[in-house]
Structure 1
Amino acid sequence: MVKHKRRAYADDYKQRAVDLVVSSGRSAGSVARELGLHESVLCRWMAERGSARAPADGSVAAPPAQATLPSADQAAEIARLQRENERLRLERDILKKSIAIFAGDPDMRFRFIEDRRGDYPVRVMCDVLDVSPAGYYAWRSRPESQRSSINRDLVDEIKRVHRDVGGRYGSPRIHAELKAQGRGVSRGRIERLMRHHNIRAIMARPRRVWTTDSCHDFPIAPNLINRNFTATAPNRVWLADITYVETGEGWLYLATVLDLYSRRIVGWAMQDHLRADLPLAALKMAISAQRPEAGLIHHSDRGVQYASESYRKVLRSAGFQASMSRKGDCYDNAPMESFFHTLKTELVHHRQYATRAEAKRDIFAYIEGFYNRTRRHSAINYISPIEMELKAV
């Protein structure tokens, strides 16, 4: 049994939580629930920082520019072109979504029209799919089969889950979520319905920037993990690493500490540099929040930040055992690499950050509001890190 310990929050965590309220325009109660906090705690943090409903980075929205009105003839031509473009856009979207779905089956075409009649005009879809509006309405008036009705309700539930997680889940996690909600349905059926209705998890863009500098004269710790990525309880094995996020102001670097047992991100820090105090801030956050006992294994790559005297001093004072991957072998720290891939697949590669402050707010909300508390992880039987930690209490 692991004794429950009251969590301590770093100043950076408190500031990010306040910034999330200010920048999103949401209520303190809504953000507090997302982060697993009491509303009174978040309100106290806001009061301590004198927060107002304005962006924390001090930016001010520019007044709208005065537009030059077109002449009557120009307005008429613009309206005609807009109608024509809208028609072409509708036809393109319909064809794009229907290609490879229909194999000369009118019922499938009618079902497609029925599912999307709220998005596109029925007559336009009938014209593009080469069926008559009369045929569609005759099909629509026929009694619906029991299986078709069940599938329709199931698709609605799939879309709800997909929407609630921002499109980040594919069929395995949607199946796990519906199962947890008491919906008994096979994963194969969910896969077929998602494929038929073109419901997919968002995808990542490949990009690589090296953040590891292992050419130094500092001591190298032995590899105590040897790719045995298991832990018997929380705060027995921590993994650490650094990644990067592109913004309009330049790179933002993110250092994280991951608990191998629960896959929870227990410490993080974000800066515009790669000096040793970046991962050191993440480590100190993790120690302050989790208060682990001596003997914990801390595993990282051979980067100069983790081998530096300042970092090793904190590890020694906490009684941790240092462990390092083999040179240039990312698989020796695979769970941490998996987190970075997930972060970029589900969030970063679908954003364009104008400033580092904007990226920091978004990443904080993802880690503390979604990844740690809600996201279902395949490595821990499709439950969240918080649920995994509760199982150990």
Structure 2
Amino acid sequence: MSKFKTEDKIQIVLRYLEGNESFGKIEEEVRVSKTIISGWVRLYEQHGMEAFIKSYTNYSGEFKLNVLNYMNETGTSSYDTAAIFNISSPGMVRNWRKAFETGGIDALQSKKKGRPSMKKVSKINKEQQLPVEGSIEALRAENDRLRMENAYFKKVERFSSRTGKITNKIKAQVIFELKHKFDVVEIVKVADIPRSTYYYWEKRLNNEDKYAKVKEAIAAIYHEHKGRYGYRRITKELEKKNIYHDPKTINRLMNEMGLKCEVRMKKYRSYRGSVGKVAPNILNRDFRAGKMNEKWVTDVTEFHLFGEKRYLSPVLDLCNGEIIAYKVMNRPVYSLVGDMLEEAIKKIKPDDEVILHSDQGWHYQMSKYQNKLKEHGIRQSMSRKGNCLDNAVIENFFGLLKSELLYLQEFESMEHFERELEEYIYYYNHKRMKAKLKDLSPVEYRTQVLKAA
């Protein structure tokens, strides 16, 4: 933990929990990274004020092994695990995991403290002496150290996620990327490799990279799509720019760059038993459609942020996967579905015969919803109860939406999230390529392919 006093940490935590201030705003004022503040919040939520009063603990090998077993069994992150077990630093948990992977159980045993080496204070320059504990310089130095550790372990995890191993090359690569921000000597200590090893790899990393321009193009595409594209889609985007490489090569380069596609949440369930009339399953998992306004699918999903909830009700056309209408509300009332249906109906042409498929949610069983469908000649189809495969396409859209938006970025407020949600649906319709649409977006496919047919 940093050298902040206990009351300072608690005050910062309460500012976030009770004052509705974002991590970003607090970070600017107190000059502590969002990751550290988030760790304090987790500790406070799990253990209250005692989490910050705890004295130094020499953790036993058995305790460390129990912590690592818990992580493996539950899939919790190092940050959440540190909070649950009241461990002062998530970096400590990651070090235990690294030690266990390389040296087994023996590596988790506490090492005996030897006699520290003696150094003549007279030979140390005044500039090199440690700042007085509690001083502004000490706080800054501690904050810089925590920022450095956080940056290092974050990048190491990304670089090693594919291989599952943390090699000296990966460590050197991370140090090489961070050396313009932090002192190399200090990062090498965090990486726990000899300085000579780092400089050996640095020399090799400095050699001319024949893939430099390809990596530049990969990074541009990756960031344009906000980390939503994996190596297959990026390979296809590169081909549009006349850059041709095997997908395996692109995958390897992305691993070297620490770029990977991110990832999926519990779905809102609107089923309340038999409320009205249930329709037959006309769609019957036949998700093929030769033209627009032939087969539609719909459902409702829930988002929970900032102590509030939002519900999204979209209609997706199975011909090109386009979201043709949607509605967002703070309660799952009938108008959530009713208003969305009104918008979708505007897309129907006189000779269209539409099937609209949904689950057996109470909205879709209501007589006014079903009467509206009959009024416009829309045939209603419903999934069998408890079988999500019958509505797999809209479920897949919700999975993409949450992995590519909800879990990929931070939001300052619910209003900010709603703006980003609107922007994502536009992006999904107009820019996001789909392999089954000949690598075009839904709108591009509708305007280029279907119009020409």
TM over 0.5: yes
CA distance 1:278–1:271, change in 2 (3 Å): same
Distance (whole Å) between structure 2 residues aligned to residue 381 and residue 375 of structure 1: 12
Among candidates 366, 374, 382, match of residue 324 of structure 1: 382
2:428 is the counterpart of 1:371 = yes
Amino acid in the other structure paired with 2:281:
N
The aligned counterpart of 2:42 is none
Residue of structure 1 in register with 2:301 after alignment:
243
Q: CA RMSD in A?
A: 3.3
Q: Which residue in 1 is equivalent to 2:146?
A: 85
1:359 matched to 2:417? The reply is yes
Shift of 1:118: 4.4
Listed as ranges, the gaps of 5+ residues in structure 1 are: 1-58
TM-score, normalised relative to structure 2: 0.62
Q: Is the 8 A contact 1:235 1:292 kept in 2?
A: no
Cα distance change, pair 314–353 in 1 and its aligned pair in 2 (3 A): farther
Question: 1:193 Cα shift?
Answer: 1.6
Q: CA deviation at 1:83?
A: 4.0
Deviation at 1:328, TM superposition (A): 1.6
Q: Which has the higher helix share?
A: 2
8 Å Cα contact 1:158-1:174 kept in structure 2: yes
- Residue 239 of structure 2 corresponds to which residue in structure 1? 179
| 2:283 is the alignment partner of 1:222 | no
Q: Give the Cα–Cα distance (whole angstroms) in 1 for the partners of residues 303 and 429 of structure 2.
A: 20
Paired position in structure 1 for 2:266: 207
The Cα of 1:161 is off from its aligned counterpart by: 0.9
Per-residue CA deviations over 1:179-220 (Å, capped at 9, x if unaligned) read 22322112111112222322111223x33432233422x222
Deviations 1:359-392 (A, max 9, x none): 3222111112x11111122443432101110110
Is the 1:315–1:322 contact (alpha carbons within 8 Å) kept by the matching residues of 2?
Answer: yes
Q: What one-letter code is carried by the residue in structure 1 that aligns with 2:375?
A: S
Tell me the residue number matched to 1:47.
none
Residue of structure 1 equivalent to 2:323:
265
Q: CA deviation at 1:310?
A: 1.1
Aligned length, in residue pairs: 319
Give the aligned partner of residue 75 of structure 1. Answer: 136
Cα separation, 1, equivalents of 2:414 and 2:349: 30
Change (3 A) 1:88 1:232: closer
Q: For the Cα contact (< 8 Å) 1:246–1:353, is it kept in 2? A: no
Q: Give the structure 2 partner of residue 153 of structure 1.
A: 213
| 1:93-128 superposed Cα distances (whole Å, 9 cap, x missing partner) | 565456556656x6x766655555545545555564
Query: Which amino acid letter does the alignment assign opposite residue 270 of structure 2?
Result: T
User: For the pair shown, which has the larger CA radius of gyration, 1 or 2?
Assistant: 2
Amino acid at match of 1:210: R
User: Which amino acid in structure 1 is aligned with residue 356 of structure 2?
Assistant: H
Amino acid at match of 1:192: R
Query: Does the Cα contact within 8 Å between 2:268 and 2:300 map onto a contact in 1?
Result: no
Q: Is the 8 A contact 2:222 2:228 kept in 1?
A: yes
3-state SS of 1:157 partner: helix
TM-score, structure 1 normalization: 0.71
- CA contact under 8 A between 2:271 and 2:360: conserved in structure 1? yes
Alpha-carbon distance in 1 for matches of 2:323, 2:175 = 44
SS, match of residue 346 in structure 1: helix
> Cα–Cα, structure 1 residues 187 and 137, in superposed 2: closer, same or farther, change >3 Å?
closer
2:361 aligned residue: 303
Q: For residue 290 of structure 1, report the CA deviation from its aligned partner.
A: 5.3
Secondary structure class of the residue paired with 2:296: strand
Determine which of 373, 389, 392 is the counterpart of 2:446.
389
Name the stretch that deviates more: 183-192 or 230-239.
Answer: 183-192
Q: In the alignment, residue 209 of structure 1 is paired with which amino acid?
A: Y
Given candidates 268, 289, 312, the residue that maps to 2:370 is: 312
Q: Note the residue ranges of structure 2 that are not aligned, 5 or more in a row.
A: 1-19, 31-132
Aligned to 1:4: none
Name the SS of the counterpart of 2:356 in structure 1.
Answer: strand
CA offset digits 1:321-349 (Å, max 9, x no partner): 11111112111011100001111111123
Bigger RCO (CA 8 Å, 6+ sep): 1
> Are 1:345 and 2:403 an aligned pair?
yes
Matched with 2:70 is: none
